[in-house]
Amino acid sequence: MDPSSLSEDALATPAPRRQAMVPEATVARLPIYLRALHVLADDGQTTVSSEALAEVAGVNSAKLRKDLSHLGSYGTRGVGYDVAHLIEQVSAELGLLRHCSVVLVGVGNLGRALAGYGGFASRGLAIDALLDADRNRVGEQIAGLTVRHIDELCDVVSKGSIGVIATPAQAAQQVCDRLVAAGVTSILNFAPTVLSVPPGVDLRKVDLSLELQILSFHEHRKAALAQGAPV
């Protein structure tokens, strides 16, 4: 970039006029809204106000309205949002409507738990392949799926597949590289390691112990405050 030569770049924005432009923070909340909407739908509600939905989702109502406004105006003023319609729209935005292939690598403790986790399937993101490097585990039946060897990776991934890494830390980068080589452009990493991926590949991570350590910090802080502060 050469900012000095672009003093009036407001007119020639690179790729802004693309319709969507949904902020990342909003995307991160869409799944929460979706779950809240499913709760309301199961409860028999057909419409819901931003205030009520925000209450269930645990967020500010203004934030919720702004979030929803980013994917078009689907609310009716004076009434609220149509629950079923909103579920449809949010699901579409998240790409949950058309089947998306999910490949899980590593069937240790965590991998098994993930394979059996109902939260994926109920949102149109069922895991449909289990891989492992350990040949002793190949052939095993887990959650209705047969574990296959990781060498068969190319046979199970298709364009648009999402890769999930649940291997030990030291194997994660290697598995990651193989996923990328097989054409996977979205990877979710559960291994406690920083992975590097080439540009164009989306990498997200879930560190199970990270949140626990953050809580430990706050607990520690509280204890220190309780002892030192009440002068």
Interface residues with DNA (CB under 7 A)?
Answer: 23-26, 48-51, 59-63, 65-66, 68-69, 73-81
CB of 55 to DNA, least distance (A): 11
Q: Which of 85, 205 has the CB closer to its own copies?
A: 205
Beta bridge partners of 17: none
Q: Say whether residue 58 binds its own copies (CB under 8 A).
A: yes
Q: Say whether residue 222 binds its own copies (CB under 8 A).
A: yes
CB of 85 to DNA, least distance (A): 11
Q: Say whether residue 139 binds its own copies (CB under 8 A).
A: no
Q: How many whole angstroms from its chain centre is CA 166?
A: 15
Between the CA of residue 200 and those of 150, 163, 187, 197, what are the distances in Å? 23, 14, 11, 8
The b-or-e profile of 149-162 (16+ CB within 10 A means b, else e) is: ebeebeebbeeebb
Q: Say whether residue 41 binds its own copies (CB under 8 A).
A: no
Beta bridge partners of 103: 129, 163
Site for its own copies in 162-181 (CB under 8 A): 162, 164
Cα distance between residue 186 and residue 130, in whole Å: 17
Q: Binder to its own copies among 1, 8, 42, 204 (CB under 8 A)?
A: 204
Q: Say whether residue 45 binds its own copies (CB under 8 A).
A: no
DSSP state letters, 119-184: HHHTTT--EEEEEES-TTTTT-EETTEEEEEGGGHHHH--TT-EEEE-S-HHHHHHHHHHHHHTT-
Cα distance between residue 125 and residue 197, in whole Å: 23
> C-alpha angle 99/168/131, rounded to 5°?
40
Question: By the 8 A CB rule, do 206 and 190 touch?
Answer: yes
CB of 231 to DNA, least distance (A): 24
CB of 78 to its own copies, least distance (A): 27
The option from DNA, its own copies, none interacting with 192 (CB < 5 to 8 A, set by class) reads its own copies
CB of 100 to DNA, least distance (A): 24
Residues found near its own copies in the complex (CB under 8 A): 15, 18, 20, 27-28, 30-32, 34-36, 56-58, 93-96, 100, 102, 109-110, 112-114, 116-117, 119-120, 123, 125, 160, 162, 164, 185-188, 192, 194, 196, 202, 204-223, 225, 229
